[in-house]
Structure 1
């Protein structure tokens, strides 16, 4: 991980408490600041959205799903890197989310080190290129 990992905050949005706790432990062990939300609605109501450097979201959640969350976050923060995680093996959805701007798409369970490397690369890339995400 790059030495600036303390400079970014990763937001995790997943309705599964176990997944949120697992990701919190992963980011704690790597020294990465993070915030977790149990729903897209909760994340969208968070007052510090501009402090988020990377968003990790489940695809399928009650209420607002990950694709709609991506649309809304992209409207507010066009350069925010978005990483999808899901237990649903849907290759068409995977292709679509990546085509529409997601920086990565992981199937659960995923390799923690690979996720950390992806987050680091996504944050560095968004800071230098101004890359943008669009709809699912």
Structure 2
């Protein structure tokens, strides 16, 4: 089930990253770009919240303690949730083995990435 954005509704973008500075920076960027931002310190915090049901686009770090961003994306698919996902990583060497063949995976961006690059990926995600 893909989350649909109704007319007049602000898109909800969830950020799942164990690095507080990344969460804070992305939250500021998203809010200043007109999105509703919700941040989570790890995959389980996101899964245990109401977030998955309300999220229009997910930005998740790949490498986190506990459940990785890839495992989170796969879990959401198993749950029947098709949330367009942007994976981010400080370890881009992990990205090639992931590829973009996973359903709903929009991009895998190496940190640091430009704000414009991320916002373009979000716009692509919201059009799906």
TM-score (norm 1): 0.81
- Range moving further from structure 2, 78-87 or 53-62: 78-87
Q: Is the 8 Å Cα contact of residues 37 and 43 (structure 1) preserved in structure 2?
A: yes
CA offsets per residue over residues 4-39 of structure 1, 9 Å max, x none?
A: 695310000000011101101101110110100000
Structure 1 Cα separation of the partners of residues 24 and 9 of structure 2: 19
The runs of at least 4 consecutive aligned structure 1 residues that moved more than 4 Å come to none
Structure 1 Cα separation of the partners of residues 71 and 52 of structure 2: 16
Q: Is the 8 Å Cα contact of residues 6 and 32 (structure 1) preserved in structure 2?
A: no
Q: Which runs of 5+ in 1 are unaligned?
A: 126-136
Q: Which residue is 2:107 aligned to?
A: 104
Match for 1:41 among 35, 39, 44? 44
Match for 2:29 among 26, 30, 34? 26
- Structure with the bigger percentage of helix: 1
Cα offset, 1:77, TM superposition:
4.2
- Range moving further from structure 2, 80-89 or 94-103: 94-103
Cα offset, 1:103, TM superposition:
0.9
Aligned pairs (5 A) from 1:1-136:
6-90=9-93, 93-101=95-103, 102-125=105-128
Cα offset, 1:65, TM superposition:
0.8
Query: CA 1:90 to 1:40, structure 2 compared with 1: closer, same or farther past 3 Å?
Result: same
- Range moving further from structure 2, 96-105 or 111-120: 96-105
Q: Is the 8 Å Cα contact of residues 5 and 31 (structure 1) preserved in structure 2?
A: no
Cα offset, 1:117, TM superposition:
1.5
CA offsets per residue over residues 44-67 of structure 1, 9 Å max, x none?
A: 101242110011000000001111
SS class of match (1:110):
coil
TM-score (norm 2): 0.86
Aligned length: 121
